[in-house]
Structure 1
């Protein structure tokens, strides 16, 4: 029997586990941590395209990773064994492949890339429609393979520029932002929507429109946006001098220039970030100046944009895979006076992590070959497949030529606490910088050693890098590294990053990335049956559901409690919990407590030892001023940060429940119980069971006050052009004294058109229920509660149930972003932290979304 046939038989004999079996085994593995267990089963357990699960717990996954990486190791001298690799991965203790590598290595059932991050882009006259459509297709092709994508829009000519087609002038950047955003929303894998970063240079004449684009609700919801800011602009802001914008932005003889008030444009950037957490800022001159790959810009390695979270600046068609080193695991005797960081073990393992990352590049090249083979086998014509195939050929070339890696960390916050250092304090900042300096030196030493055994990356040239500040910083710290690199080269063009480690940190059961602990102790609610004698009811919500509140401890906070003689099973009062936290190293060291300026300076200090970038968010309370946000940005620039994002509590990117409820109450309190004769009205169209439905939602102060809904293609006909989205709902009296509601809109010619009698255009039964829901809305029930009320209606008629679904969908559009869903749990990870975002339910723990 041939080897391939034997392998096929082995695959067929593999045991298939049910979801429940895998979940129960993972729950035991994670010692009762339900969220970690669900995340692992849903995102990382080996599955085929039918959802069959082939791994029982993370030990099986880590064995799969170890087997595949050991296979690559055998190609090179002094290979690491499968068992050695397994011990590095086991229990997520030391080295943790992130995202794509964890799910994809050894997965023969799905054809997908191992890369976490991609950047794409065109050269030459790339703002042609052909170039723009090519980028759109490439973006979609990458997202369907699980990749996050970034690309820059600075090449697109500004609005009003002449073009040689029937349009005569360019529409500018914003319409293409919408196109790329919409493409992102269309692509989803396993409930995971694509991730996109759009960037533009502040030098571009359309940059102000770019900055404002996301403020309009419902627009550009499928992309993160960041502004590339140069030193000249920042100096103009500091000095209060004008700043020149131009197109093309790098031209010595631009077609178009204009001078702008830098301070005014800066104020808009700051205001929008304060209001909505976007745009993010990329200090572009710092990125380019420090970038090692940009030493090879003449060979196609000029950095143009970043991945969606900003931690990997990339040239077009380069990609990166991520791995995290768990910093907490190198603290000996944690949370005791004898606590100590084991630098020797840490540096040894960083060397292994860099080596494993290089192995993963070989595995990625195999995956790309598989993708290309799949494209060749597809039945479409060669012309249809051309863009996709060329895309992967370009990505393969960059991966093979530069061998870029992304070694990072997680658990910085827990590491510092375990060493009895308060995150953000001066000595904690100094220690973090020392850790990352050692990490950089160990990783680069490993890459040089691999160049001896495996060969340098093909385009390595010591002379090209002689003026690079990052490389010179390494050489100043380790003279022998300079001599060896000059002699042997190194294996990888760039090595390091600090990425967000959301689901990774759930499985390491530590703080995330470089961030502090979010909260050492917090409350969660569990819905209960009030008639069950075994349950305790702590809270009854507005719709009558009963909830039990229970205390959740951060995993390493429990370790601190145990190390310091505090009971972990006791029922603590809130006052006792507050006093307990005050005595711990987590006191005043959470994401909402740390000194913001210290955190910015820490990021700048650590950045000097990270050749890519750092994903970090500065969390601010809701009452901070815009001026403070601006000051933090300037400090970040001066401190050497490559980028920075601020999140003000309550900004549009995610409002806390308490704030949402307070604002809702304030809005309700000012509601008039007497309906005015005229209300603004929204038109909401949707589809139920292939039927076209329409809703007219009357608004008071921007909040739903009444709703009329039913079939759009009913016999009586709601003949409303699809372009109509808004109008007026007018209340009037018939001659017999009955009330009538008409919808009036202005057509394209400017004439007013009226649809009479919304109250009897729809099915009579629909109208009666609509009156009930409208009455609830106008008497002040919160919108999410009204949705729950509608969802809970027990209706026998199929048509009425369809109507019920339609009302829910129409009302979800108006739930304030960030509002916590009061019922249900995430279908992907089981978390109950579901919030509304643009009418969709978004899981705050794993990021999966469900749109109604």
Structure 2
């Protein structure tokens, strides 16, 4: 049973400042790690009271709860043993939801990181679609990331028996599901959604294009499920037949196309915007042990938002990472080696802990169902939500799926003196993941002996599965034991992205190489600071000091090799350091791309779920190269792949005339609602004019400015807004007289909502009236650069109004899409009129001069 609330009530609570300070000491000065821990994982109640001062407190909470489950079974591990394995993020790291939720009595939430929902393609009615929409929202409010597939929705133009007569196709529903994700995300943790569709679906091209239109489907990742027959048609330049229902022998609708043409569309969009991702669906199904039980409800439908867990409808998974760096003995020395014996021992324990966490999850689901039952709504209102959790509980108990993974692959190789991406590095990594897989499966078989196999285990069903046959070939004794005793868990392994986990463990993320071993960061200089160095002054007059930041394990390499880490090295000296280190030619942008794909394919053979990995390529690579990487990924056995071209996420626009030439691209205007929504997301922009500090509140719809309120910022006593607040919401209300009032709301550092009432009361009425005028032009769809031109052209006699006018123009410039031509303005350096906007600044394409004021 979880810790009783009355026990926690007697415990000491901490302020945010106390917890961050103590955790910063715990992380040896790493403020980012301390802040991530306190904000995301430290136990806190709904009032913002913090009950855990450092990660030691969190790890004791987790160890206590897992030990409680262990006590129900034979040969239980003790709380002390468990704590020693998870403390300091050294060996075993429960990820995300388990870290937050285990032993947490204040939050009624799932311990699962990932869910997939769906109806197995049986229904594409409005009722079925709305059911999925509600299920998605219900899961997201309990902290889960969600995936679902849209291949069951009939294509555009299909006949329907309602007033519309024909179907709208699946693209409008992409927007519905995306918007639902954003609605859940408006307050607190952002939702995460994966939408997928089969390339065999006749609307696949519309699905692929949907995210290229600015402001559309912004709340979801999208991936295309690609089958082997399509890939062969691409390679052989053959035709391919799309069908609805997909792959039907008697389709209601079919369409023949040249596979290479659709492939080029997929590749072009991935090159342009890093989406869609690709899921090699036949490889996923062929390799999947759960799909051996497809007729019993384990048919894989889609993946979680990052793609590392393919799941059947209503199944879920919890994640845990093993810190590979910690198994390197004598790191960064000639005597370095990997302790495989300790690693195998800990993998077995990690798998055991994951099985314990399933029991804890079942308890959490029971609490969720009890909460639903106790809610005052009518049973019919609660029916979908309640049935959803009953389905999820059934799958969790029946299949007992786990997600044991790793982090720090890049740091591990560097510590061994092996270059990431080299032939030696790839061979070592493959052997390591093979060792991990066999140890985890051995642990699951031993658990089956002690606790019983997952309830539908059937050795006969799995005898031709490629993954099972790989186990048979490499460890016949394990395979024979598994056939005799079964295993505890239907599927075991994954490699997830470990963003927050890698921050806390101070390592490289997941399977990825280091992004940058050394970089420079700027710190704003307070005018009252003494004895500080000013390296940079920005366009608003603020001073900044530059300082060197070392990746944690790069810094350790320096210390091991007697290199001073306290020096503020120049860029040239930094480059010299990197060249001497084991991280040289081993960063995200250095690694040979084809080698990384081959490494992923080889490791995938020892990961029964999938791998979340990104192939980073420079901005100037060709679409042809992206296509080659995708093709290679299929050929070497990857289950999915994402290629990210540097800078491809910025300025993603769709051409009105569908031409491919970049010079023909024009901004597609946003169609704003005729009535202002009650709540708008808001960006805060601070600027300086004539030594006065000003502030702008910019309300947005789909990341495009909709309204602006500005005035002098009162930074002296913080009455208006703390400096650390950069965003929030503008809420339209009415005062006691019934007049419109615009309030600003943000979440303070303790997690409470703070509201500043009446932005209109805070500013000079003259500025307020001009702001309403400018907001009117924004709301009626005028392009941002034209609004800026309009503001600049205002002829105003009052000096303070002119000062304000310049600041407003500066605040809005940052929203002008990169590459927008600046009409009627001249370069102050060379007098050229060939100017364009770049990151809010006017840049001359002739001389390169840039003006941000």
TM-score (norm. length: structure 2):
0.80
Change (3 A) 1:529 1:233: same
Q: Does 1:462 align with 2:459?
A: yes
Aligned match of 2:306: 309
Taking the TM superposition and a 5 Å limit, the aligned residue runs for 1:31-42 are 31-42=28-39
> Deviation digits for residues 481-534 of structure 1, max 9, x if unmatched?
011111110000000000000000000000000000010000111111245323
Aligned match of 2:516: 519
Query: Is the 2:111–2:361 contact (alpha carbons within 8 Å) kept by the matching residues of 1?
Result: yes
Q: Does 1:195 align with 2:200?
A: no
Query: Is the 2:651–2:817 contact (alpha carbons within 8 Å) kept by the matching residues of 1?
Result: no
Change (3 A) 1:467 1:692: closer
Q: Does 1:545 align with 2:542?
A: yes
Aligned match of 2:24: 27
The CA deviation at 1:221 is 0.2
Change (3 A) 1:692 1:76: closer
Aligned match of 1:604: 601
Higher mean alpha-carbon deviation, 83-92 vs 542-551, is at 542-551
Change (3 A) 1:712 1:654: closer
The CA deviation at 1:810 is 7.1
> Deviation digits for residues 588-639 of structure 1, max 9, x if unmatched?
1000110000000000010000000000000010000000000000000001
Query: Is the 2:223–2:279 contact (alpha carbons within 8 Å) kept by the matching residues of 1?
Result: yes
The CA deviation at 1:190 is 6.3
SS of 2:641's partner is strand
Q: Does 1:130 align with 2:135?
A: no
The CA deviation at 1:94 is 0.1
Q: 2:612 aligns with which of 606, 611, 615?
A: 615
**Counterparts of 1:692 and 1:650 in 2: how far apart (Å)?**
25
SS of 2:533's partner is coil
Q: 2:57 aligns with which of 56, 60, 64?
A: 60
**Counterparts of 1:530 and 1:772 in 2: how far apart (Å)?**
34
SS of 1:70's partner is helix
Aligned match of 2:571: 574
Q: Does 1:335 align with 2:332?
A: yes
Taking the TM superposition and a 5 Å limit, the aligned residue runs for 1:773-792 are none
Change (3 A) 1:779 1:317: closer
The CA deviation at 1:683 is 6.1
Q: Does 1:71 align with 2:90?
A: no
**Counterparts of 2:500 and 2:578 in 1: how far apart (Å)?**
25
**Counterparts of 2:808 and 2:135 in 1: how far apart (Å)?**
35
Aligned match of 2:225: 228
SS of 2:635's partner is helix
Change (3 A) 1:460 1:688: closer
Change (3 A) 1:22 1:684: same
Taking the TM superposition and a 5 Å limit, the aligned residue runs for 1:211-610 are 211-610=208-607
**Counterparts of 1:488 and 1:766 in 2: how far apart (Å)?**
75
Query: Is the 2:44–2:51 contact (alpha carbons within 8 Å) kept by the matching residues of 1?
Result: yes
> Deviation digits for residues 46-104 of structure 1, max 9, x if unmatched?
01122211011000000000000000000111011000000000100000000000000
The CA deviation at 1:10 is 1.8
**Counterparts of 2:566 and 2:271 in 1: how far apart (Å)?**
41
> Deviation digits for residues 671-721 of structure 1, max 9, x if unmatched?
xxxxxxxx999868786998999x9x9xxxx999x999999999xxxxxxx
Q: Does 1:148 align with 2:145?
A: yes
Q: May I ask how many residue pairs the two structures share in their alignment?
A: 730
Q: Does 1:17 align with 2:44?
A: no
Change (3 A) 1:770 1:539: farther
Change (3 A) 1:248 1:779: closer
> Deviation digits for residues 398-423 of structure 1, max 9, x if unmatched?
00000000000000000000000000
> Deviation digits for residues 274-300 of structure 1, max 9, x if unmatched?
000000000000000000100000100
Query: Is the 2:708–2:774 contact (alpha carbons within 8 Å) kept by the matching residues of 1?
Result: no
SS of 1:464's partner is helix
The CA deviation at 1:582 is 0.2
Aligned match of 2:630: 633
CA RMSD between the two structures: 3.8
The CA deviation at 1:21 is 0.7
**Counterparts of 2:440 and 2:217 in 1: how far apart (Å)?**
38
> Deviation digits for residues 2-30 of structure 1, max 9, x if unmatched?
x99x9453232121111111111100000
Query: Is the 1:692–1:712 contact (alpha carbons within 8 Å) kept by the matching residues of 2?
Result: no
Change (3 A) 1:681 1:556: closer
**Counterparts of 1:136 and 1:377 in 2: how far apart (Å)?**
23
**Counterparts of 2:132 and 2:611 in 1: how far apart (Å)?**
26
Change (3 A) 1:146 1:241: same
Query: Is the 1:331–1:339 contact (alpha carbons within 8 Å) kept by the matching residues of 2?
Result: yes
Change (3 A) 1:121 1:326: same
> Deviation digits for residues 248-289 of structure 1, max 9, x if unmatched?
003211111111110000000000000000000000000000
Aligned match of 2:103: 106
Query: Is the 1:277–1:653 contact (alpha carbons within 8 Å) kept by the matching residues of 2?
Result: no
> Deviation digits for residues 215-263 of structure 1, max 9, x if unmatched?
1000000000000000000000000000010000032111111111100
Query: Is the 2:784–2:815 contact (alpha carbons within 8 Å) kept by the matching residues of 1?
Result: no
Higher mean alpha-carbon deviation, 529-538 vs 333-342, is at 529-538
**Counterparts of 2:186 and 2:80 in 1: how far apart (Å)?**
33
SS of 1:193's partner is coil
The CA deviation at 1:536 is 1.4
Query: Is the 1:199–1:305 contact (alpha carbons within 8 Å) kept by the matching residues of 2?
Result: yes
Change (3 A) 1:147 1:805: farther
Change (3 A) 1:337 1:131: same
Query: Is the 2:278–2:641 contact (alpha carbons within 8 Å) kept by the matching residues of 1?
Result: yes
Aligned match of 1:159: 156
Aligned match of 1:745: none
SS of 1:192's partner is coil
SS of 1:611's partner is coil
Query: Is the 1:684–1:810 contact (alpha carbons within 8 Å) kept by the matching residues of 2?
Result: no
Higher mean alpha-carbon deviation, 355-364 vs 479-488, is at 479-488
**Counterparts of 2:631 and 2:479 in 1: how far apart (Å)?**
34
SS of 1:507's partner is helix
Query: Is the 2:784–2:812 contact (alpha carbons within 8 Å) kept by the matching residues of 1?
Result: no
The CA deviation at 1:123 is 3.9
Q: 2:639 aligns with which of 638, 642, 664?
A: 642
**Counterparts of 2:306 and 2:176 in 1: how far apart (Å)?**
20
**Counterparts of 1:45 and 1:765 in 2: how far apart (Å)?**
43
Query: Is the 2:27–2:33 contact (alpha carbons within 8 Å) kept by the matching residues of 1?
Result: yes
Change (3 A) 1:218 1:404: same
Change (3 A) 1:636 1:526: same
Change (3 A) 1:372 1:806: farther
**Counterparts of 2:733 and 2:82 in 1: how far apart (Å)?**
63
**Counterparts of 1:141 and 1:169 in 2: how far apart (Å)?**
30
